[in-house]
Chain A
Amino acid sequence: MALEHDDKPIETRDMGMAHIDTSQSIKTGPAGLVTTAINILTSPSEAFTELGQRPAKLFPLIIIMLPLLGVMFWYFTIIDFDWFIDDTLANSFPRANLFVETSGDSQLEQARGAMESMSQTTFRMIGVFGGAAGMLLLWVLQASYLSLVSQLNGDRFRFTHWFSLAVWTALPYLLTVIGMAVTISLNPNGQLSSFDLDPLTLTNLGITSSNNMVSLALNSVSLTQIWGVVLTVLAFKQWLVSGWIRALSIVLAPYLLIIGVSAYFLIS
């Protein structure tokens, strides 16, 4: 497999800024991509040093996307669509349950009709590729945001570094994909909720709440996502030699913004 390996020399120009770490300019020997992948999970600082020098992107993209697409295809192949639509309607937002219980089946049927207007193939395509496309978009946005921060900061890291970092820090998501595969194999009857698919969501790890909004958040947040964010914070701190507060505030700012906007819309 001919994987690209960006092996550009590190620019060591003096930006005249005291916070630029000289350690970044020390070029280490190239580590294997598999080693980097293992290091991301076990020894992230070593992986970040490697990525700072050689920001590979294709390898992590492939090892995340291919299993993800495979598992999602498996899921949408076995799923009972009628059941899936009902389950999605009843669980996707807290009001759905109220509306099912109080207004009877007629309104639910209307919503079902709208969802059923899509063919199963279309539904399956959206299910399979939608998640992967969304993830890719998120990485691009994250990389754009962090490269903008870099530009404002005047450091040497560019979009390609941040995009590579975004993809590599998502590597723990592979564990979610493995968990999904095991979950699907344990539930072959086609009635597996998308909310039960990932065994690493906080809800599926046993953290529950009676509050609908908190419950929704617990259902949406996976341990591997938190892991990925923590890795990004660590990488930011290491690459830009910044303090914890700065790293946390800059990396978490978009997430906090998303949570805030979502909460606003849910409340309103």
Chain B
Amino acid sequence: MNAKKLLLVVFIAGTVVALPFVNRIVFGVNSKEVNVSTLSQRVISPSILASGYLAHEEEVMLSSEIIGKVAALFVEEGDVVVQGDLVLRVDDKNFIAGLEQSEAAVRINTIDIERQIVRIDNLERQFERSKSLYERSLIGEEEYEVARNQFDLSKIDLLSARERLAQARAQLDQVNDNLSKTQVISPINGVITSLDIKVGETAIASSTNIPGSSLMTIANPASIYTEVLVDEADVANIEVGQRAEIVAIAYPDQPMQGVVRFIANTAKVAQGRQGLSFVVKIDIADPGAVILRPGMSCRAEIFTRQDQEVTAVPIQAIIFEEDRAELRSDYFIFVNDNGIAKKTKVEVGLSDDEYQELMSEIDENVEVVIGPNQQLRHLLEGDRLNATRVEQQ
């Protein structure tokens, strides 16, 4: 074999072997294009999402206590009423007739008492006369006893007549009360939000949900609030007074500001849900341009921690590593150490949709790798970085 040829082959192979080294020297080691940022002080607002609907706090549903045909309706849906306004009248002819009957009964019983008093006076005089005659032995004992019995019985009759009068008066009160119930008045200041009956229809005294049992609903529009159902796992983080952002489904781009007012003490299984939920009431502090209508579906984001500034990094900068075998989980960030990626273990706190609180003490001037996601996902300790400084907004 020609030695020159062999040398040439060795030279070519040597060149190829040297090429990656030369490449490294000439072009440098591939560095990863990353975005870095220094740590910033930022408000972290962890929140809980819940869905529900708008409702009125002051709301009454009027129903009839008597059965009768509606004779007159004085309001329409949407009308403003004040407390004491007559809103509906049930036909009262039967009740007026009953009233006259009861008044007559009272009068009859009153007359009967007067008659009994006169009768007692008369029997008392007869008894006194019989007594005098009996003491002088002018009449027998039997005659004397009859006079005395008649006098005693008349007193009992008077008592009975008085009781009948009381009974008639009670009946009169009852009839008066029923008559008053033909006049339905508004118990609160508000707006007629629902009118469920018409003139000529029969109002029915019933608590069951049948036609005629509900007359109308009156609500105070100023008392509108949001009622949401919070999952039992989240309820521990909710407190009265926390800020909330409410979005009505009909106005998805117009969030309203609210404040948590009430948290239910008892959990319940809400319709359509499997787990337990707690009712949370949120007052709407500022509805903005939203026209609030009770029953509207809405969702509320309740901010569970008040607005405090903390040291934070974008959430994608946090690397989570879990070792299930050792039941260990750790959080890391990558810092830019003079162009070299340095993996640093950190303790994290609360987070919101974008940022995570850093509990560990880290020099504020350190540059943290915050993106892009594709690079961060595969970043390794010791990787060379071509960092671009990004100012966080």
Contact = CB atoms under 8 A, between A and B. Distances in A.
Contact of A38 (B6, B30, B374): B6
Nearest to B373: A105
Contact of A86 (B1, B5, B20, B377): B377
A189 interface: yes
Contacts of A90: 374
Interface in B1-42: 1-2, 4-6, 8-9, 12-13, 16-17, 19-21, 23-24, 26-27, 30
A183 B377 contact: no
B273 interface: no
Interface string A19-47: 00000000000001011001101110000
A94 interface: no
Given A35-B1, A186-B24, A86 B374 contact: yes
Contacts of A167: none
A126 B2 CA distance: 41
B22 to A, nearest CB: 9
A80 B9 contact: no
B20 A182 contact: yes
Contacts of B61: none
A34 B30 CA distance: 38
A186 B20 contact: yes
Nearest to A191: B378
B380 interface: yes
Contact of A39 (B5, B23, B373, B378): B5
A38 B1 contact: yes
A39 to B, nearest CB: 7
Contacts of A178: 13, 16-17
A206 B20 contact: no
B334 to A, nearest CB: 14
Contact of B8 (A32, A42, A105, A199): A42
A34 B208 CA distance: 103
Interface string B166-208: 0000000000000000000000000000000000000000000
Contacts of B13: 175, 178
Interface in A155-211: 175-176, 178-179, 182-183, 186, 189, 191, 196, 199-200, 204, 206
Interface string A68-111: 00000000000010110010001000000000100001001000
B23 A204 contact: yes
Contacts of A206: 26-27
Nearest to A42: B5
Contact of B9 (A32, A41, A196): A41
Interface in A105-144: 105, 108
Max chain A Cβ within 10 angstroms of own Cβ: one of B8, B12, B19, B30: B19
A191 B382 CA distance: 12
A179 B19 contact: yes
Contacts of A38: 1, 5-6, 9
A108 B8 CA distance: 47
Nearest to B17: A182
B383 to A, nearest CB: 8
Contacts of A199: 16, 19-20, 23
A187 B23 CA distance: 13
Interface residues of B, number: 26
Contacts of B23: 199, 204
Interface string B231-268: 00000000000000000000000000000000000000
Max chain A Cβ within 10 angstroms of own Cβ: one of B12, B16, B377, B380: B16
Contacts of A42: 2, 4-5, 8-9
A175 B17 CA distance: 8
A196 B30 CA distance: 10
B17 A105 contact: no
A183 B374 contact: no
Interface string B376-392: 01101011000000000
Contacts of A34: 1
A243 to B, nearest CB: 28
Nearest to B4: A42
A82 B377 contact: yes
Max chain B Cβ within 10 angstroms of own Cβ: one of A42, A90, A100, A200: A42
A200 B8 contact: no
A179 B20 contact: yes
B8 A41 contact: yes
Contacts of B383: 189
B9 A183 contact: no
A187 to B, nearest CB: 9
Contacts of A204: 23
Given A38-B1, A38-B6, A90-B374, A175 B24 contact: no
Interface in B341-387: 373-374, 377-378, 380, 382-383
26 contacts: A34-B1, A35-B1, A38-B1, A41-B8, A42-B8, A83-B377, A83-B378, A86-B374, A90-B374, A100-B374, A108-B374, A175-B13, A175-B16, A178-B13, A178-B16, A179-B17, A179-B20, A182-B19, A182-B20, A186-B20, A186-B24, A189-B380, A191-B378, A199-B20, A200-B19, A206-B27
8 smallest CB-CB distances across A and B, nearest first, come from A42-B5, A83-B378, A199-B19, A175-B16, A179-B16, A182-B20, A183-B20, A42-B8
Interface of A: 32, 34-35, 38-39, 41-43, 80, 82-83, 86, 90, 100, 105, 108, 175-176, 178-179, 182-183, 186, 189, 191, 196, 199-200, 204, 206
Given A42-B4, A199-B16, A200-B16, 16 more contacts: A38-B1, A39-B5, A41-B8, A42-B2, A83-B377, A86-B374, A86-B377, A105-B374, A175-B12, A178-B17, A183-B20, A186-B20, A191-B378, A204-B23, A206-B26, A206-B27
Interface of B: 1-2, 4-6, 8-9, 12-13, 16-17, 19-21, 23-24, 26-27, 30, 373-374, 377-378, 380, 382-383
